[in-house]
A and B are shown apart, each in its own frame.
Chain A
Amino acid sequence: MFLQQLVNGLTIGGIYAMIAVGYTMIYGVIQLINFAHGEIYMLGAFFAFTFISFLGLPFYAAFLLSMACCAVCGMLLDIFAYRPLRQSPRLAALITAIGMSIFLQNLAMVIWGSRPKPFPQGALPAYFEETAVTFSGVSLSWFHLFIFAITLMMMIGLNLIIQKTRWGKAMRAVAQNKTMAALTGINVNRVISYTFALAGSLGGAAGIMVGAYYNSLYPTMGYIAGVKAFAAAVLGGIGSVPGAMLGGVVLGVAEALGAGYLSSLYRDGISYAVMIIVIILIPAGLFGKLIKETKKSM
């Protein structure tokens, strides 16, 4: 049972990690907690649903296309909601983020209706349901492996982008100091847009996988996932990408083991308690750097 719970925890933990990375990247670059990120995740699931049910696309094509759409949504979110507020106090942008979250939820409700929808199961590759590996009583389906593989691939890919490419370098520069980055000829707004696109595509991918694995889409699904992922990002040290990855996995496993061995009613409580304990012991989070607040930002 322990192993099975571990598998359950890793599955959901990997997905939390993918969303958490989006929070942390955006926070790293513009110090904004993008509360609408959970809604991008929800949109990802709904885009895939629409592409499959109405355009009849195969699963993998729909997967990539929805990721692209979520990337565009992330950029639009930045351009329309956050860019006009770049110079205003941080609180204004934060409130806007909450507003966008509510707006997108309700927009999805208008477009797709508020009833929970099943993911078009027929569109999923048939082998997803088949057992791939069995060890000591735990069986993993190909779908599990698919989720693990995608999560891992995206995490590695993301690290490569941030560490090895020019855009990654520009992102890190903007994160450190926007003015200096601009002085060296970096188009700051464009870098921020790209960050939103990257975060959006990861969030969208997470949404599709959750929608397909747990087989349920509804317009408010982004809320809880968003809050959990935010907790994961804080746990890992907000602003740190490896921290968010680890935070997501820790939170997912804590939740599964907590629900399995302690009380399932307090399952969410347990995962938040883990976060609170870590923050009390290591205020900056697992991988965060403690920076002194130098100027009054609010």
Chain B
Amino acid sequence: MRNKRTFLFAGLVLALALVFGMSTGAMAANIKIGVAAPYTGNLASYGDNIKAGVSLKLQEINDAGGINGQKVELVWGDDLCQPKDAGTVGAKFAADKSIVAVIGHLCSSATLAAMPIYVRNGMPTISPTSTNPTIGDVGKGWFFRNCYTDDFQGKYLASYVVPKLLGKNKVAIFYENNDYAIGLKDSFVAGAQESGVTVTGAEAYMTGTTDFTPQLTKLMADKPEAIFLCGYHPEGALIAGQGRKLGFDGPLFGADGIDNVDYINIAGKAAENTYCTVPFLAQSAGPAGQDFAVRFKKSAGRDVDWMSANAYDCLGILAQVIGKVGPDRKKIRDGLAAINSEATGYKGVTGLTYFDEKGNCSKPAFVKLVKGGEFVAAE
């Protein structure tokens, strides 16, 4: 017994020495950037997108010799899109003094939970995907994003997509009970009032729900012409499938949360005739975007999605700023805040990005549609 214990202890010491030896060895030269997204859990496919996007940029930066000779290293933080796990990841990143900036988080609820920690610890954060409008206020100058906000997206859906593109004016809403979906729903409802679109009913659901038939039955009693899938793709796909089973054959539409191949994989035939708005669409992008789509397909083996493109640009923006001001949290924040006009804007694959005083940027929205089992540009 005693021998066994000594042996175990020796093993533990050895393992610790190995781990520390390795990490300190790597720390000396590299610039570390945290990347927070859900890499496991229901929304793991979003995390895959982020990983594919930043990894491609990382390779390009390091192949070109890094930033001023220093290699860049990414630290992954899995937040499962859950506020509580986002807090843990945030605290971990903030405590690690070698991490100079964070890309993330992905879901708005996760970003809202982690942001106060980053503000307290002075950590510059740039999110490729969090669209909830209130994050800018919580970020107190430390938050930036290169996607549009739901204020814009919801109104765009209500004023353009539904009445003009789909030609419908009676809509039922299904929204998830989280910051992203509630913000989006509110701005859609506000926009719908202005454009004369009638909202026949709005039903909420909890993340992870699988049975939507009671809500669908209730909503469909009012005979809506289109259903708004206001949430993320796993539940959206189930609503689509169950809605079609209950006999709904009109168009479905959603926002950036629906844009994922898994939506089509899960919903199958029911996914047909689903529209969604995205901040980046390879088919509608400029030459830089087209070129990126080709490179992305080569490295990731699949078609590019908007999250990967935005994440790719996030790392690009950070690399440019760090190249100018050096790897220091405060200086990086100031550098990001200085990107505040068209002239100073970052020209990336998703177009020109520059931030207002809340870290928001204005980007156009594009519309995608599921046709023949894949996403195609709607216009």
Cα-based distance from A210 to B291 in the complex (angstroms): 44
Q: Which residues of A contact B247 (CB under 8 A)?
A: 139
Q: Determine if A30 is an interface residue (Cβ-Cβ < 8 Å).
A: no
Q: Determine if B64 is an interface residue (Cβ-Cβ < 8 Å).
A: no
CB-CB contacts below 8 Å: A206-248 with B: 210, 214-216, 218, 220-221, 224
Q: Determine if A9 is an interface residue (Cβ-Cβ < 8 Å).
A: yes
**Contact between A215 and B238, CB atoms less than 8 A apart:** yes
Interface stretch (choices B185-193, B198-206, B312-320, B365-373) = B198-206
Q: Determine if B339 is an interface residue (Cβ-Cβ < 8 Å).
A: no
Contact of A259 with B214 at beta-carbon distance under 8 Å, contacts A1-B221, A115-B262 already known: yes
Q: Determine if A256 is an interface residue (Cβ-Cβ < 8 Å).
A: yes
Q: Which residues of B contact A263 (CB under 8 A)?
A: 204
Contact of B266 among A116, A129, A267 (CB under 8 A): A116
**Contact between A116 and B42, CB atoms less than 8 A apart:** yes
Cα-based distance from A258 to B204 in the complex (angstroms): 13
Q: Which residues of B contact A265 (CB under 8 A)?
A: 177, 204-206
Cα-based distance from A9 to B238 in the complex (angstroms): 17
Cα-based distance from A260 to B262 in the complex (angstroms): 28
CB proximity of A217 to chain B, nearest CB, Å: 10
**Contact between B218 and A216, CB atoms less than 8 A apart:** no
Q: Determine if A189 is an interface residue (Cβ-Cβ < 8 Å).
A: no
Q: Determine if B213 is an interface residue (Cβ-Cβ < 8 Å).
A: yes
Q: Which residues of A contact B262 (CB under 8 A)?
A: 115-116
Q: CB-nearest residue of chain B relative to A12?
A: B211
Q: Determine if B119 is an interface residue (Cβ-Cβ < 8 Å).
A: no
CB-CB contacts below 8 Å: A246-269 with B: 255-261, 263-265, 267-268
Q: Determine if A109 is an interface residue (Cβ-Cβ < 8 Å).
A: yes
Cα-based distance from A12 to B214 in the complex (angstroms): 11
> Secondary structure of the B side of the interface?
helix
Q: Which residues of B contact A109 (CB under 8 A)?
A: 40
CB proximity of B268 to chain A, nearest CB, Å: 6
Q: Determine if B159 is an interface residue (Cβ-Cβ < 8 Å).
A: no
CB proximity of A67 to chain B, nearest CB, Å: 20
**Contact between B238 and A216, CB atoms less than 8 A apart:** yes
Contact of A8 among B211, B221, B265 (CB under 8 A): B211
**Contact between A5 and B268, CB atoms less than 8 A apart:** no
Contact with B along A102-144 (1 / 0, CB 8 A): 0000000100011111100100000001000000000101000
**Contact between A256 and B214, CB atoms less than 8 A apart:** yes
**Contact between B211 and A115, CB atoms less than 8 A apart:** no
Cα-based distance from A9 to B208 in the complex (angstroms): 18
**Contact between B42 and A256, CB atoms less than 8 A apart:** no
Contact of A268 with B268 at beta-carbon distance under 8 Å, contacts A5-B214, A8-B213, A116-B42 already known: no
Q: Which residues of B contact A210 (CB under 8 A)?
A: 210
Cα-based distance from A141 to B204 in the complex (angstroms): 26
Cα-based distance from A4 to B215 in the complex (angstroms): 11
Contact of B40 among A4, A114, A141, A268 (CB under 8 A): A114
Contact with A along B155-186 (1 / 0, CB 8 A): 00000000000000000000001000000000
Known: A5-B218, A259-B218. 17 other contacts (CB 8 A): A8-B213, A8-B214, A8-B217, A12-B211, A113-B44, A114-B40, A114-B42, A115-B44, A117-B266, A210-B210, A214-B242, A215-B238, A218-B42, A255-B214, A258-B214, A264-B204, A268-B206
Tell me the A residues contacting B by CB distance below 8 Å.
Answer: 1, 4-5, 8-9, 11-12, 109, 113-118, 121, 129, 139, 141, 210, 214-216, 218, 220-221, 224, 255-261, 263-265, 267-268
Which 10 A-B residue pairings sit nearest by Cβ, starting from the closest?
Answer: A259-B214, A265-B204, A8-B213, A256-B214, A264-B203, A214-B210, A118-B266, A114-B40, A264-B215, A114-B44
User: 14 A-B residue contacts at CB 8 Å?
Assistant: A4-B217, A109-B40, A121-B268, A129-B245, A141-B245, A215-B238, A215-B241, A216-B237, A220-B208, A224-B208, A259-B203, A260-B218, A264-B204, A267-B214
